[in-house]
């Protein structure tokens, strides 16, 4: 069996220099911190990727001491880290944590935060870069940013100050614009890192590597060769106790407005001149701006919404959405959304992009499937074969990260019979390593000041501009919410979006 040492591909997995940093996490006792942020920080420490001078300041409303928080954080890491914590690494990381208990609008709390930051600087013997990570309910985002500004913490001589802002960034175009306005009245755009954790996923970045590091894809990457694209983000989980958030959001806001439109951009964008924050994001914005938002009249024919009813997941009965705790029994919130979009530019005009996402579907699967046009003529057509099928290039983002290309191949034997076979790349097998969690990469990038994998102000607004008319039509018009049993592929009515002869891929 190959060993890590013998595998030349692992040489590419290197460590980057990260400047000394103090990371202040607002909402540090919340669910995201517990499941994702603290475990990600542990894994960075485990791989030696955290800067030598690093301090974490947890800001939250609960009344805890530094030690209480450390104990809580240690448990969270033990439970959710992807690697089993090494006691020494964990102890060292916990020792770098402080806790500031405060309401998010209390100026005194920001004074205590300043003291904690100053202490961290003193210990380090230099001014640390400062990152304010907003992992709170979204209503606090502008409150915290403005309080940071009022306390004069938005800049620091001799160090960089940045804010990482979690999703959701607004609930529609108007609120996103307002949040941008309030944020940018305190910080400059270069200081703002809007998170979309999909951009931190290895396979998502691999879409750019495949497209731009290989000459063979570019010639076919356009309307002349590509027939259609399906982007799927299916989940088998339900709403996981997030009833209040989810019932106000729904699938379109929760996953399409951000993650799925990001995937669309990376798939469609022109090659950037350099892999830097502005050049990459300029290209992405051009893609979103080429997607013409539907008129409200068009919504019924380009979007389908659904909601899960009772059903079975992994052999277990599960309740329908309206029976979930905290969900009103007459809720019309969509837990499934499917769309047909067009990117109206020179490269993509006329190619349908089908997007679908949903909770409580048959299984967890995120993939982008690019189907090429069939060959124009085939001289050999023999019975008993599946026959020629169009090539499909599939980027599987999760769970089994990799890329597959289906090719027509001859079935062994005397006759010329064709059936599709797969050419596969699996991340785990090629690199002999587990891919890092998206948050590890993104926290590291924020500390390094690299905003390439974060959403820019104009980008987030352009995403909302596509979703707004759909949300409006869904809330104001009598457009059905189709029920689908939990554990299935979603409502069959989503087939109406497809062109004749096309099918949604099986989950």
* Least spacing, CB of residue 128 vs ligand BG6, in Å: 29
* Least spacing, CB of residue 260 vs ligand BG6, in Å: 11
Contact 129, 447 (CB under 8 A): yes
Residues 166-195 that bind ligand BG6 (CB under 6 A): 167
Per-residue string for binding with ligand BG6, 138-167, x by CB under 6 A? Answer: -----------------------------x
Residue that has been written with the tokens 């005009």 in this structure: 349
Q: Is 259 annotated as catalytic?
A: yes
**Given the complex with ligand BG6, which of 53 and 322 has the nearer CB atom?**
322
Residue 482: closest CA among 338, 276, 283, 291: 338
**Given the complex with ligand BG6, which of 202 and 254 has the nearer CB atom?**
254
**Given the complex with ligand BG6, which of 121 and 247 has the nearer CB atom?**
247
**Given the complex with ligand BG6, which of 302 and 403 has the nearer CB atom?**
403
Q: How many residues at the interface with ligand BG6, by CB under 6 A?
A: 4
* Least spacing, CB of residue 167 vs ligand BG6, in Å: 6
- Provide the pairing of β-strand 316-318 with 161-165: unpaired
**Given the complex with ligand BG6, which of 364 and 477 has the nearer CB atom?**
364
Dihedral angle, C-alpha 343, 349, 368, 437, nearest 10 °: -40
Residue 199: closest CA among 446, 447, 448: 446
String of DSSP letters for 105-122: T-HHHHHHHHHHHHHHHH
Contact 365, 401 (CB under 8 A): no
- Which ranges of 173-316 would DSSP assign to H, the alpha helix? 173-184, 202-212, 243-249, 251, 261-268, 277-290, 299-302
Dihedral angle, C-alpha 505, 503, 422, 265, nearest 10 °: -70
Looking from the CA of 270 toward its CB, the CA atoms found within 13 Å total: 12
Residue that has been written with the tokens 């691999």 in this structure: 206
Residues 29-88 that bind ligand BG6 (CB under 6 A): none
* Least spacing, CB of residue 366 vs ligand BG6, in Å: 6
When asked if residue 254 is in the footprint of ligand BG6 (CB under 6 A), the reply is yes
* Least spacing, CB of residue 7 vs ligand BG6, in Å: 27
String of DSSP letters for 131-148: EEEE-S-TTHHHHHHHHH
* Least spacing, CB of residue 201 vs ligand BG6, in Å: 7
Q: Is the dihedral of CA 187, 189, 193, 195 positive or negative?
A: positive
Element (H, E) at 46: helix 38-46
**Given the complex with ligand BG6, which of 226 and 486 has the nearer CB atom?**
486
Query: Cα(42)–Cα(48) distance, rounded to whole angstroms?
Result: 10
**Given the complex with ligand BG6, which of 121 and 254 has the nearer CB atom?**
254
**Given the complex with ligand BG6, which of 121 and 334 has the nearer CB atom?**
334
Question: Binding residue for ligand BG6 (CB under 6 A) from 166, 202, 227, 235?
Answer: 235
Residues 351-410 that bind ligand BG6 (CB under 6 A): 366
Contact 184, 175 (CB under 8 A): no
Contact 291, 343 (CB under 8 A): yes
Phi, psi of 418 (to 5 degrees): -115, 140
Query: Cα(24)–Cα(113) distance, rounded to whole angstroms?
Result: 8
Active-site residue among 46, 197, 259, 377?
259
Dihedral angle, C-alpha 139, 145, 146, 149, nearest 10 °: 170
Residue 57: closest CA among 78, 27, 17: 27
Query: Cα(475)–Cα(207) distance, rounded to whole angstroms?
Result: 35
* Least spacing, CB of residue 195 vs ligand BG6, in Å: 9
* Nearest residue to ligand BG6, scored by beta-carbon proximity: 254
- CA Rg value for the chain: 24
Per-residue string for binding with ligand BG6, 292-321, x by CB under 6 A? Answer: ------------------------------
When asked if residue 236 is in the footprint of ligand BG6 (CB under 6 A), the reply is no
Element (H, E) at 266: helix 261-268
**Given the complex with ligand BG6, which of 120 and 234 has the nearer CB atom?**
234
Q: Is the dihedral of CA 191, 194, 200, 203 positive or negative?
A: negative
* Active site residue ranges: 259
**Chain contacts with ligand BG6 (rule: CB under 6 A):** 167, 235, 254, 366
């Amino acid at each position: 069996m190959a060993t890590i040492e013998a595998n030349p591909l692992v040489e590419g997995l290197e460590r980057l220099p990260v400047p000394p940093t103090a990371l202040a996490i607002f909402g540090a006792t919340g669910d995201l911190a517990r499941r994702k942020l603290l475990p990600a920080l542990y894994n960075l420490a485990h791989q030696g990727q955290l800067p030598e001078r690093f301090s974490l300041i947890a800001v939250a409303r609960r009344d805890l001491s530094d030690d209480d928080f450390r104990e809580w954080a240690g448990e969270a890491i033990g439970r959710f880290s992807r690697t089993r914590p090494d006691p020494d690494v964990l102890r060292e990381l916990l020792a770098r944590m402080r806790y500031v208990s405060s309401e998010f609008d209390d100026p005194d709390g920001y004074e205590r935060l300043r003291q904690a930051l100053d202490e961290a600087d003193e210990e380090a013997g230099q001014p640390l870069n400062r990152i304010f990570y907003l992992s709170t309910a979204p209503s606090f985002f502008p409150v915290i940013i403005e309080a940071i500004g009022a306390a004069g913490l938005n800049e620091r001589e001799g160090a960089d100050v940045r804010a990482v802002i979690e999703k959701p960034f607004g609930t529609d175009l108007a609120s996103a614009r307002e949040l941008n306005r309030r944020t940018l009245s305190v910080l400059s755009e270069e200081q703002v890192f809007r998170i979309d954790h999909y951009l931190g996923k290895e396979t998502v970045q691999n879409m750019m590597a495949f497209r731009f590091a290989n000459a063979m894809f570019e010639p076919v990457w356009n309307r002349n060769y590509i027939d259609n694209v399906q982007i799927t983000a299916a989940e088998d989980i339900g709403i996981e106790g997030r009833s209040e958030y989810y019932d106000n959001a729904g699938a379109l806001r929760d996953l399409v407005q951000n993650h799925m439109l990001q995937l669309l951009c990376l798939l469609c964008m022109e090659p950037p001149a350099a892999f830097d924050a502005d050049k990459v994001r300029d290209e992405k914005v051009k893609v979103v701006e080429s997607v013409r938002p539907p008129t409200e009249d068009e919504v019924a024919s380009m979007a389908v919404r659904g909601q899960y009813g009772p059903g079975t997941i992994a052999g277990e009965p599960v309740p329908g959405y309206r029976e979930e705790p905290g969900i009103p029994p007459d809720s019309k919130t969509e837990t499934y959304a499917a769309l047909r979009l067009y990117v109206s530019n020179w490269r993509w005009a006329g190619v349908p992009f089908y997007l679908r996402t949903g909770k409580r579907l048959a299984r967890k699967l995120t993939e982008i499937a690019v189907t090429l046009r069939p060959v124009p003529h085939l001289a050999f057509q023999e019975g008993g074969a599946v026959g020629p099928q169009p090539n499909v290039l599939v980027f599987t983002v999760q769970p089994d990260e990799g890329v597959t290309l289906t090719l027509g191949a001859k079935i062994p034997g005397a006759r010329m019979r064709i059936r599709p076979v797969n050419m596969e790349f699996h991340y785990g097998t090629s690199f002999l390593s587990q891919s890092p969690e998206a948050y590890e990469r993104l926290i590291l990038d924020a500390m390094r000041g690299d905003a390439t994998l974060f959403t820019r102000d104009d980008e987030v607004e352009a995403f909302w501009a596509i979703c707004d008319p759909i949300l409006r039509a869904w809330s104001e018009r009598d457009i059905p919410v189709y029920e689908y049993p939990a554990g299935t592929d979603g409502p069959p009515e989503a087939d109406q979006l497809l062109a004749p002869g096309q099918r949604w891929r099986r989950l």
